[in-house]
Amino acid sequence: RLHLVTWNVGTASPPPDVSSLLQLDSLGATMDMYVIGLQEVNSKITNFLSDLAFDDPWSIFFMTVLSPLGYIKLSSVRMQGLLLLIFVKHVHLPFIRDLHTQFTRTGLYGYWGNKGGVTIRMSLYGHTVCFMNCHLPAHIENTEQRLDDFEKILEMQFEGENIPSALEHDVLFWFGDLNFRIADYGIHFVRESINNKRYNLLWEKDQLNMAKKKEAFLQEFVEGPLHFKPTYKFDLYSDVYDTSEKKRKPAWTDRILWRVKNLCQHAPKGGEFSEEQQTISVTLNNYISHMSYGISDHKPVTGTFGLELKPLVSEPLVTLSPEGEWSAEHDVLINYSAVPEFPSSAWDWIGLFKVTFKHVNDYVTYSWVEDDEISSNKDGKQVYMSAAEIPDVGGEFLLCYYSNNLQSVVGISQPFQIQPNRTFIGKELPQEEDSWMQRPDNLESHDEF
């Protein structure tokens, strides 16, 4: 289950609560992955420089909301006001590989990043999946410019790298403030149709719908029905359309589309295509806007999807577990084993994480798999971890194996308890040092994390 958000936040700060936006209050099954695409994140030069050194306020906000629920920030990429974040449940980490990020500027003839696209791609259980958050040119007369820019973004993503192009991925999600407007109809007809909830009267003049009928490169993109009010342009903190002097015409600027790579090209000559051959499918469960959020002149839009995968990768590269019962009073051991083809490195490490960790840098401590190894045989290896590094208060933790060659977590343990140090029970403990101060030297602050 994948929940995708697109929201032009208009340089605003995060709202007090995003439970409904992320469907955290729904009674259904929890999501496996959150993909959050924002546009017009505050990108004044002072904000941007501080955000490069530390996580920006929106990233910190979503991490704070989602990490207690068992999600970690898998990857992020930022280009001025464009931000793309992906959060996943711990259990999926070992099956997500080949993470790459990319951005393409299209503002000011490609020299300025106020418009363009940011992309995160990955191998998910062996299938290639790509997420592309775009902010395209504004104004009703710029349809061709929007299409040209999107075509340029498609062509330039991962160009020259040993990575498939965006359209070669098994699944491509395209979303953002795409800025397509409603052509021909006047503002009174548009507003009257919206007031009467007769949105279907406007669909055929929606510029994106019109372009999908004419432009070959758009025809394989799919979108759910627009059964919600146009999401632009509102007075702040209201559900009233623009009352300023400009009185801009409402439009569905904020959209979510997807494309499953053409499976028919693999069909037998007879033209028959059995369902068994289809290894990945996408189902849209919900496509809605969220009218209660008023921090910008756009309303956020979410799409909830089911991704059905026949796993091409079903075993983790590394299996690991704590040896025996762990206590903060003594040194401990970690057992791990790797599949024969695993490309291990002297720079690989195993991190101890709280179960509510926010991202891969957010560990409590770590052991180098070679330097701290104490035994090795055909069944596996053991690594030592010092009691001095283990939190005296104990609690619930996880172990993750980080591969330097693959730049990702390739194994994760089940949650387990560490017994507290009895010497410290009842005493006030010193605050833990920020884990980023002591991270392994090989783990730089990449966009991927």
Task: Report the half-sphere exposure of 300 (CA within 13 A, side-chain side).
Answer: 26
Q: For residue 63, how far is the Cα from the chain centroid? A: 12
Q: pLDDT tier at 425 (50, 70, 90 boundaries)? A: low
pLDDT in tens, 159-205: 777 889 999 999 999 999 999 999 999 999 999 999 999 999 999 99
Is 263 or 362 the better-scoring residue by pLDDT?
Answer: 362
Q: CB count, 10 Å around CB of 449?
A: 20
> What mean pLDDT is predicted for residues 245-257?
95
pLDDT in tens, 222-233: 999 999 999 999
pLDDT in tens, 69-88: 999 999 999 998 999 999 99
Q: CB count, 10 Å around CB of 435?
A: 19
Task: Write the CB contacts of 377 (distance below 8 Å, at least 6 apart in sequence).
Answer: none
Supply 277's token pair: 């051959």
In whole angstroms, what is the distance from residue 207 CA to residue 180 CA?
Answer: 5
Name the pTM for this structure. Answer: 0.90
**Could you tell me the residue ranges of all domains in the chain?**
2-309, 318-419
Type of residue found at 155: E
Q: For residue 62, how far is the Cα from the chain centroid? A: 11
Percentage of the residues of the chain whose pLDDT score is greater than 70: 86
Supply 195's token pair: 């007031």
- pLDDT at 284 exceeding the cut of 80: yes
Helix (H) or strand (E) holding 200: helix 200-203
In whole angstroms, what is the distance from residue 449 CA to residue 447 CA?
Answer: 5
Q: Which CATH class name applies to 2-309? A: alpha beta
In whole angstroms, what is the distance from residue 432 CA to residue 40 CA?
Answer: 35
- pLDDT at 447 exceeding the cut of 70: no
- pLDDT at 420 exceeding the cut of 80: yes
Could you say which of 2.30.31.70, 3.40.50.1000, 3.40.950.10, 2.60.40.2840 is the CATH number of the domain covering 318-419? Answer: 2.60.40.2840
Task: Write the CB contacts of 180 (distance below 8 Å, at least 6 apart in sequence).
Answer: 136, 143, 146, 206, 207, 208, 211, 251, 252, 253, 255
pLDDT in tens, 129-139: 999 999 999 99
pLDDT in tens, 286-341: 999 999 999 999 999 999 999 999 999 999 999 999 999 999 999 999 999 999 99
CB distance 400 to 360 below 8 Å: yes
Task: Write the CB contacts of 197 (distance below 8 Å, at least 6 apart in sequence).
Answer: none
Q: What is the 3-state secondary structure (H, E, C) of 227-295?
A: CCCCCECECCCCCCECCCCCCCCCECCEEEEEEECCHHHHCCCCCCCCHHHCCEEEEEEEEEECCCCCC
Supply 56's token pair: 């920006």
Q: pLDDT tier at 380 (50, 70, 90 boundaries)? A: very high
> What mean pLDDT is predicted for residues 47-75?
83
In whole angstroms, what is the distance from residue 445 CA to residue 113 CA?
Answer: 21
